[in-house]
């Protein structure tokens, strides 16, 4: 009886597992059908690869405060741990047990453990968290913390590991060093803090090279051995002052890299002085310590190995392969060789970091796998329409520019074009037609509904990607070297100058950035479909960029020019032949530090462009301590479908739709209210302040959405310690000042303002509104949360006109009553269980279908999908029965013809009676 019950229990458990496993989420058949996600770890910092253990592994730490384990064969993420952003989560040290000496195996071991640790990390500074991890599963095994007495000084603290001890080095710049040793796994201090006088140390010139604290002073190298009982100053002459910053070489104690060569801090430290290279690392090959270098020469990546004691080259470790330009300069991080009978170096795996934030795995002079970690820092995205198919392009070419003078010639031209089209199609079928183009072979062809597009992505490292938005395939990459964001914190810009709708002209995009060396502007123009440079490619400007704007009108080649204002308020247009299109434009600039805005009028006269200052607005407050923290304008491609809202009495409440309205937010501290947040709605053509409002005890993070006649922004209420979303709507009233053309210089009376605040039970990290081609579809607001979810909230929930009670007068019929708390239903999360780590960016774009909006969400990961705020009302369902509806139509048509015939016969018979 007992065995039968046991068997039934097993059967029931198996049935429950099957049932639970089959119910993953709502609409399971739609999972990953219209969306895809990439998982990133960020730019590589440290790496340890092991191929000879029980389980080969690659453990890494990154600049994005992430530790992870990658599969050495494929580069797939096996597990990762994402720490906090900023200094709180910065990884100060990552130590692998197998990378330490043999004496460390039993020292300070935890009870019941044969090793002190498997993987050890030091994170943050106030407090500093020292943690031990299971390197196979990524589980946390133990942890201890250290809270400094002075948190400001602890920000620059350093750590190193030696003989089961972990040393905390706290430099007090221009004064001294404080060194404290601890048992690595227990956190128990082994002695008092040693204070070492060192008045020459500075943050820009000093590094930690193993156990040596080393600084560069002119042409001398000054070092201190921090593990010595009585540390003494070690000085070494270099002969000349280094040009590049010094950096430590991982794996060898007391060796640094000075101007691409190895230098020991002491004369008795053996180094290979003859080696030259951009990067070095230490590893093991045939039971010997080996130094490996990686350099690029003549577009080839050359990897060479040398015995560290004798500096003799190991030919088995030599690798050479073509190196694409879009990877930038390489830095080798780690390598290991799988032990075999031949020891011919074919089992060696080299892990390399690049300046474009990629991770390369090299084996046998080939790239075994690559990871594009630049996608962990996306700053701009654009959707580009794909080109026409070859057959459609031929037809378009025939029809283009041949307008017929009369109906007969138009009909003849139409018939001849169709004949040519049929001939081209027939030749393609029998294999005698022209060869398909490269885009045709890659499947980059425009579809009927405009859902298939090229996703162009610009990243923080200057890397640009061309990705298929349907499959996620990377079709091309390019890297802009030596570029960065602008000095005021504004990111690089990605602009579309010409779309793919002007056949046979190709699409044209531009990247606007700042040169790292000179600080001047950089323009790069390229074809977004192929990634090839266009219209001259890279252009170095001889001035700094202060403001830029796209011209509203195109020239004869359908290219929208870029209007650029320099630091002297002079303007330039690229391409230059579009200067005349800039006449009569208005521009504005915002100085975040001083809290001031200035408006300018651009005038084209005598083939020259000049700017005329029009207005200036000072938002710095009476104490001058208000700073601008955010400026939000409307989407330039937005289309407003309805000019008003119908009221219950059949009257119309017209929207205040000012295309020149900009929302400006300023922040200041206050002795009474602690924080002050000011909101200004400013017309940037006339400089008039349309509306202003103040929030007390409110502080960032601030995220803003500005669209049509409404504004929504999320902020943190410091008084009640919760996140709130405030919405504002502007209306002209029951009468409209001008229903055809908006003029900011003859603006209507001040708008009617509706405002309301809602409570959202999560931390908001980003916000974006949905957008469609004609604006008919209802608007939704996409809210990114700290948990990595994207919540789609209809505007009806955020509407400030929601009535306090259902019987309130002056409210729309059917409006939902006001409730302070916003619901976050799980079915409204468009990324269901595809969590996006550190979600901080959402971008939306219209598709060819009016009901559908394309979405890109990014943080550490990237997620691409499409949504339909009003459902797919303009698209038939996939299970639509075409056969049944065809049969019904045929039957109805036949029946109507038969009925018509019978009716005519009946009427004829009645007429003869």
What pLDDT does residue 426 have?
Answer: 73
pLDDT at 402 over 80: no
Q: How large is the average pLDDT for residues 566-583?
A: 89
Asked if the model's pLDDT at residue 133 lies above 70, the reply is: yes
Query: Per-residue confidence at 462, pLDDT binned at 50, 70, 90?
Result: very high
pLDDT at residue 398 in the model: 53
Mean pLDDT value of segment 434-444: 67
pLDDT grade for 75, boundaries at 50, 70 and 90: very high
- The string of pLDDT tens digits covering residues 192-221 is 889 999 998 998 899 999 999 999 988 899
Q: Please name the residue that has the structure tokens 């990390």.
A: 121
Cβ–Cβ under 8 Å, residues 783 and 842? no
pTM above 0.85, yes or no: yes
- Can you tell me the distance from the alpha carbon of 904 to that of 401, in angstroms, rounded to the nearest whole number? 52
Residue 109: pLDDT over 50: no
Going by pLDDT thresholds of 50, 70 and 90, the confidence category of residue 41 is very high
Q: What is the pLDDT of residues 735-781, one digit of tens each?
A: 888 777 888 888 778 899 999 999 999 999 999 999 999 999 999 99
Whether the pLDDT of residue 391 is over 90: the answer is: no
Q: How far is CA 275 from CA 239, 296, 305, 348, in A?
A: 17, 15, 10, 21
Q: Is the pLDDT of residue 113 over 70?
A: no
pLDDT of residue 841: 95
Q: Which two tokens stand for residue 501?
A: 């709708």
pLDDT at 447 over 80: yes
Tell me the two tokens of residue 56.
Answer: 């080969």
Q: Is the pLDDT of residue 111 over 90?
A: no
Say what the pLDDT of residue 421 is. Answer: 72
Contacts of 762 (CB under 8 A, 6+ apart): 723, 785, 786, 787, 824
Judged against a pLDDT cut of 80, whether residue 456 lies above it is answered with yes
pLDDT tens digits along 773-813 = 999 999 999 999 999 999 999 999 999 988 887 565 545 56
Compute the distance between CA of residue 462 and CA of residue 374 in angstroms, rounded to an integer: 9
pLDDT value for 665: 96
CB 815 within 8 A of CB 796: yes
- Helix (H/G/I), strand (E/B), else coil: 475: strand
The predicted model gives 77-89 an average pLDDT of 93
pLDDT higher than 50, residue 24: no
pLDDT of residue 650: 83
Asked whether residue 388 carries a pLDDT value surpassing 80, the answer given is no
pLDDT tens digit string along 153-166? 888 999 999 888 89
738 vs 360: which has the higher pLDDT: 360
**Amino acid 110: pLDDT:** 43
Once rounded to an integer, what is the mean pLDDT over residues 575-603? 91
Measured CA distances, 894 to 125, 331, 647, 891 (Å): 83, 76, 47, 5
Top pLDDT among 111 and 216 is at 216
More confident call, 130 vs 489: 130
pLDDT per residue over 846-889, tens digit each? 998 999 999 999 999 999 999 999 988 888 877 888 899 999 99
Q: Are 599 and 613 in contact (CB under 8 A)?
A: yes
Closest CA to 596 of 613, 571, 584, 609: 613
Picking from 670, 677, 666, the residue whose alpha carbon sits closest to that of residue 619 is 666
pLDDT at 401 over 70: no
Rounded Cα gap, residues 434 and 390, in angstroms: 9
Average pLDDT over residues 535-557: 89
How far apart are the C-alpha atoms of 714 and 840, rounded to whole Å? 13
Separation in Å, CA 162 to CA 120, 195, 230, 333: 13, 19, 17, 21
Residue 345 pLDDT more than 80? Answer: no
What is the rounded distance in angstroms from the CA atom of residue 476 to the CA atom of residue 495? Answer: 18
Give me 812's structure tokens. Answer: 């729309």
Residues facing 599 on adjacent strands: 588, 615
Mean pLDDT calculated for residue range 497-510: 88
Strand runs labelled E in 200-299: 206-209, 212-217, 220-225, 233-237, 247-248, 255-258, 261-264, 279-285, 288-297
pLDDT at 325 over 50: yes
Cβ distance 715 to 726 under 8 Å? yes
Instruction: State what percent of residues in the chain have pLDDT above 70.
Output: 89
For residue range 600-645, what is the model confidence (pLDDT) as tens digits? 999 998 888 999 999 999 998 888 889 999 999 999 999 898 888 8
pLDDT of residue 19: 41
pLDDT of 434: 62
- Look up residue 309 and give its two tokens: 């004691």
The secondary structure element, H or E, covering residue 395 is: helix 390-399
Residue 706 banded pLDDT, cuts 50, 70, 90: very high
Per-residue confidence (pLDDT) for residue 428, from 0 to 100: 67
Contact in structure between 463 and 494 (CB atoms under 8 Å)? no
Which of 78-82, 192-196, 240-244, 408-412 is predicted most confidently?
Answer: 78-82
pLDDT above 90 coverage of the chain, percent: 54
């Amino acid at each position: 009886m007992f065995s039968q019950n046991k068997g039934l229990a097993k059967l029931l458990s198996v049935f429950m597992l099957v049932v639970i496993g089959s119910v993953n989420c709502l609409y399971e058949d739609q999972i990953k059908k219209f969306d895809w996600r990439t998982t990133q770890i960020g730019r590589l910092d440290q790496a340890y690869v092991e191929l000879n253990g029980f389980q080969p592994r690659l453990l890494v730490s990154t600049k994005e405060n992430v530790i992870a384990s990658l599969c050495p064969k494929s580069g797939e993420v096996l597990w990762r741990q994402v720490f906090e952003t900023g200094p709180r989560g910065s990884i100060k040290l990552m130590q692998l047990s197998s990378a330490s000496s043999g004496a460390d195996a039993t020292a300070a071991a935890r009870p019941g453990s044969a090793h002190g640790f498997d993987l050890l990390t030091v994170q943050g500074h106030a407090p500093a968290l020292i943690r031990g991890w299971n390197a196979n599963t990524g589980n946390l095994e133990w942890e201890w913390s250290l809270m400094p007495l002075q948190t400001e000084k602890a920000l620059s603290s350093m750590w190193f590991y030696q003989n089961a001890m972990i040393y905390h080095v706290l430099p007090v710049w221009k004064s001294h060093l404080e060194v404290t040793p601890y048992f690595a796994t227990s956190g128990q201090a082994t002695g008092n803090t040693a204070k070492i006088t060192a008045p020459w140390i500075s943050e820009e010139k000093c590094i930690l090279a193993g156990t040596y604290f080393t600084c560069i002073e002119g042409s001398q190298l000054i070092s201190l051995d921090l593990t010595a009982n009585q540390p003494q100053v070690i000085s070494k002459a270099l002969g000349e002052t280094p040009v590049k910053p010094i950096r430590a070489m991982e794996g060898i104690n007391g060796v640094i890299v000075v101007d691409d060569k190895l230098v020991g801090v002491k004369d008795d430290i053996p180094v290979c002085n003859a080696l030259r290279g951009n990067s070095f690392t230490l590893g093991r090959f045939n039971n010997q310590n080996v130094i490996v270098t990686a350099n690029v020469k003549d577009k080839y990546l050359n990897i060479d190995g040398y015995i560290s004691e004798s500096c003799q080259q190991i030919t088995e470790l030599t690798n050479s392969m073509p190196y694409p330009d879009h990877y930038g300069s390489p830095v080798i991080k780690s390598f290991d060789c799988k032990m075999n009978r031949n020891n011919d170096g074919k089992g060696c795996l080299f892990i390399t970091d690049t300046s474009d934030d990629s991770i390369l795995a090299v084996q046998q002079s080939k790239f075994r796998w690559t990871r594009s970690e630049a996608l962990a820092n996306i700053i701009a995205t654009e959707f580009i329409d794909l080109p026409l198919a070859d057959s459609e392009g031929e037809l378009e070419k025939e029809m283009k520019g041949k307008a017929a003078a009369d109906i007969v010639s138009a009909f003849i031209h139409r018939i001849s074009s169709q004949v040519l089209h049929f001939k081209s199609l027939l030749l393609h079928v029998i294999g005698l037609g022209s060869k398909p183009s490269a885009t045709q072979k890659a499947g980059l062809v425009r579809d009927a509904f405009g859902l298939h597009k090229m996703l162009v992505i610009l990243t923080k490292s200057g890397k640009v990607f061309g990705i298929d938005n349907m499959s996620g395939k990377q079709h091309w990459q390019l890297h802009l070297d030596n570029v960065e964001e602008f000095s005021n914190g504004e990111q690089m810009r990605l602009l579309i100058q010409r779309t793919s709708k002007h056949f046979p002209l190709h699409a044209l995009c531009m990247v606007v950035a700042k040169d790292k060396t000179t600080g001047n502007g950089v323009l790069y123009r390229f074809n977004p479909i192929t990634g090839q440079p266009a219209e001259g490619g890279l252009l170095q400007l001889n001035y700094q960029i202060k403001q830029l704007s796209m011209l509203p009108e195109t020239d004869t080649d359908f290219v929208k020019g870029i209007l650029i204002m320099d630091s002297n308020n002079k303007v330039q247009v690229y391409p230059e032949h579009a200067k005349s299109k800039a006449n009569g434009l208005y521009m504005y600039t915002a100085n975040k530090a001083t809290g001031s805005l200035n408006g300018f009028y651009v005038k084209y006269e005598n083939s020259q462009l000049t700017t005329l200052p029009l207005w200036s607005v000072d938002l710095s407050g009476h104490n001058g301590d208000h700073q601008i923290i955010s400026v939000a304008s409307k989407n330039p491609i937005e289309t407003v479908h309805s000019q008003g809202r119908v009221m219950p009495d059949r009257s119309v409440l017209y929207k205040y739709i000012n295309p020149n309205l900009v929302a400006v937010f300023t922040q200041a501290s206050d002795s009474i209210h602690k924080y002050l947040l000011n909101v200004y709605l400013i017309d940037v053509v006339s400089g008039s302040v349309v509306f202003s409002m103040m929030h007390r005890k409110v502080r960032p993070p601030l995220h803003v959405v500005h669209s049509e006649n409404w504004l929504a922004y999320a902020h943190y209420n410091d008084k009640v310690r919760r996140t709130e979303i405030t919405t504002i709507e502007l209306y002209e009233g029951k009468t409209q000042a001008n229903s055809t053309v908006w003029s900011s210089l003859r603006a209507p009376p001040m708008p009617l303002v509706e405002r309301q605040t809602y409570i959202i039970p999560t931390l908001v990290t980003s916000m974006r509104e949905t957008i469609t081609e004609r604006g008919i579809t209802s608007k939704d607001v996409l809210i990114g949360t700290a948990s990595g979810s994207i919540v789609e909230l209809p505007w009806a929930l955020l509407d400030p006109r929601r009535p306090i009670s259902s019987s309130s007068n002056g409210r729309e019929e059917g409006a939902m009553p006001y409730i302070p708390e916003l619901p976050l239903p799980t079915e409204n999360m468009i990324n269901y269980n595809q969590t996006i780590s550190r979600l901080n960016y959402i971008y939306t774009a219209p598709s060819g279908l009016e009901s559908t909006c394309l979405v890109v969400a990014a943080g550490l990961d990237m997620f691409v999908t499409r949504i339909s705020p009003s459902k797919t009302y303009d698209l038939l369902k996939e299970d639509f029965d075409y056969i049944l509806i065809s049969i019904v139509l045929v039957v109805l048509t036949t029946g109507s013809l038969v009925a018509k015939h019978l009716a005519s016969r009946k009427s004829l018979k009645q007429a003869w009676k």
